[in-house]
Structure 1
Amino acid sequence: MTVSGIDRLHSQLSKLEDMFPGYLTEIVEGSIVMNPVRPFHGKTILRVSANLEGQLPPEWGLVSDVAFPFDDANEFCPDIAVIPAEAEDENRSSYPADLIELVAEVVSPESVRRDYDVKPRWYASRGIANYLIFDPLKGHCVTMWNPGPDGYRGRDTIPYGPDLTIDSALGKLKIPTATLPVDPKARPQL
């Protein structure tokens, strides 16, 4: 994609964000992608963010839904990203992807492929140590670690219920999952 191509995408993205409040917009694989924000999505972000923020060392900050360009065709707006507090204090609308230490996405029906297939490759390629996928559609969290050039070499799936513990360069982080929302259709039928 050329410089004028990426500039055109950014211009279109800005217009769409203004026209469609309540939608998360990103550039993924050269296309502008818009997803409606659903209540379970927002509640998950709020609960996980509040819990994580209280555990972060003071030199780290938490941002949500700001842009991180990865290349000309991929500019992600993670649901939660942990970056240096010094960078967060700049209060920018976009940051270099290399600043991210931990990233989390919350799955929506429209984002399944991006969150499980596309983003792990990009996040791992930038050396982002920990990638968490919170999935209210399935009622579980997927943790990925040990990034390599082709993706993450470590991966666990943990059902919602017990606390999730992440060993990271930020320290041992615990996230309660028992109160995270789960789509009623995801619950087993009795």
Structure 2
Amino acid sequence: MTVSDLDRLHSQLSRFEDMFPGYHMEIVEGNIMTSPVKPHHAKTIRLVWNELEAQLSAEWDFTSDVAFPFDEDNEFCPDLAVIPASEAAKNEGAYSPDLIELVVEVVSQGSIRRDYKVKPRWYASRGIANYLIFDPLKGHCVTMWNPGPQGYRGRDTIPYGPDLTVDSPLGKLTVPTAGLPVDPKARPRP
């Protein structure tokens, strides 16, 4: 994918973001997907970001809702992505997914399939070492590791309550989950 292809994709998405403020937007499987952002979503991102930031060295930094074009049909905007600080300092609107070392998604009612089914394949195919899904609708976290061409070969589901510990190339990272919000209006899912 060339720089002009990346610019074109990001330009497409930027036009729609301006038209629908308050919505998280991505290009997934060739479709522009929108999800309204709720307070539980933003609070989860903030809490996880703060915990991870305190544990990472200065050579790493975060992006949130910044475009990572995977191909012409998939431009994801992860809730949190850990990338080299030198790249984040460039303050770009889009980055190569090959820069991501760890990625975090927070589930919303409209992102369930994308977060659990679509994104793991793409994130793993690019060698992203760790993928964390925080789900305020179910009150649990799913950790995925050991990426391969067909997806992640390791996966655990941990209910909110105990600390989550992730062995990653960035070191051993711990996120307390007892204080993470659970959506009181969420309908149970199968």
Residue matched to 2:155: 155
Question: What is the aligned partner in structure 2 of residue 122 from structure 1?
Answer: 122
Please say if 1:68 is aligned against 2:68. Answer: yes
Letter in 1 for 2:124: A
Separation (CA, whole Å) in 2 of partners of 1:100 and 1:125: 12
CA distance in 1, matches of 2:121, 2:73: 14
- Separation (CA, whole Å) in 1 of partners of 2:92 and 2:6: 19
Point out where structure 2 has 5 or more consecutive residues left out of the alignment: none
What residue ranges of structure 1 are gaps of 5+ in the alignment?
none
Q: Is the 8 A contact 1:6 1:73 kept in 2?
A: no
Output the CA distance in 2 between the equivalents of 1:34 and 1:94. Answer: 18
SS in 2 for 1:26: strand
Q: Is the 8 A contact 1:139 1:186 kept in 2?
A: no
**C-alpha contact (below 8 Å) 1:44/1:106 kept by paired residues:** yes
The answer to whether residue 74 in structure 2 is matched with residue 83 in structure 1 is no
Counting aligned pairs with the same residue, the percent is: 74
Q: For the Cα contact (< 8 Å) 1:163–1:178, is it kept in 2? A: yes
Equivalent residues of 1:41, 1:106 under 8 A apart: yes
Say which is worse superposed, 177-186 or 150-159, in terms of deviation: 177-186
1: CA distance, partners of 2:6 / 2:54: 37
Q: What is the number of residues matched between the two proteins?
A: 186
Q: RMSD of aligned C-alpha atoms? A: 2.0
Asked if the contact 2:143–2:156 (Cα under 8 Å) also holds between the matched residues in 1, the reply is: yes
Moved over 3 A (4+): 4-12, 185-188
Partner of 2:56: 56
Is residue 69–residue 95 contact of structure 1 (8 Å, CA) maintained in 2?
A: yes
Counterpart amino acid of 2:96?
A: P
The equivalent of 1:113 in structure 2 is 113
Structure 2 length normalisation: TM-score?
0.92
Q: Deviations over 1:113-139 (max 9, x none)?
A: 000000000000000000000000000
Structure 2 counterpart of 1:30, which letter?
A: G
Distance 1:130 1:8, change over 3 A: closer
Contact 1:138-1:182 within 8 A present in 2 as well: yes
Partner residue of 2:17? 17
Give how far 1:15 is off.
2.0
In structure 1, how many angstroms separate the alpha carbons of the residues matched to 2:143 and 2:117?
14
Local SS of the residue matching 1:172: strand
C-alpha deviations, 1:89-121, integer Å up to 9, x for none?
101111100000000000001000000000000
* Aligned-partner Cα distance in 2 for 1:187–1:110: 13
